[in-house]
Amino acid sequence: MISTWSEWKRYPRAGRGENIEAPITPGIYEVRVAGTGALHSFGAVDNVAQALALLTVGSKSWFGRRDPDKLPDLEYRTCATSSKAAAKAAAERMIGRRETYMSGAA
- Check residue 106 and give its pLDDT: 53
- Check residue 47 and give its pLDDT: 96
pTM score: 0.76
CA diameter of the chain: 43
Give 19-50 pLDDT, tens digit per residue: 899 999 999 999 999 999 998 999 999 999 99
Asked which of 33-42, 58-67, 82-91 is least confident by mean pLDDT, the reply is 58-67
- Check residue 26 and give its pLDDT: 96
Domain of residue 89: give its range: 9-105
Are residues 19 and 76 in contact, defined by beta-carbon separation less than 8 angstroms?
no
CA distances from 80 to 17, 22, 30 (A): 25, 9, 12
In a domain, 3, yes or no: no
In a domain, 40, yes or no: yes
The CATH number covering residue 97 comes to: 3.40.1440
Residue 45 CA to its chain's centroid (Å): 10
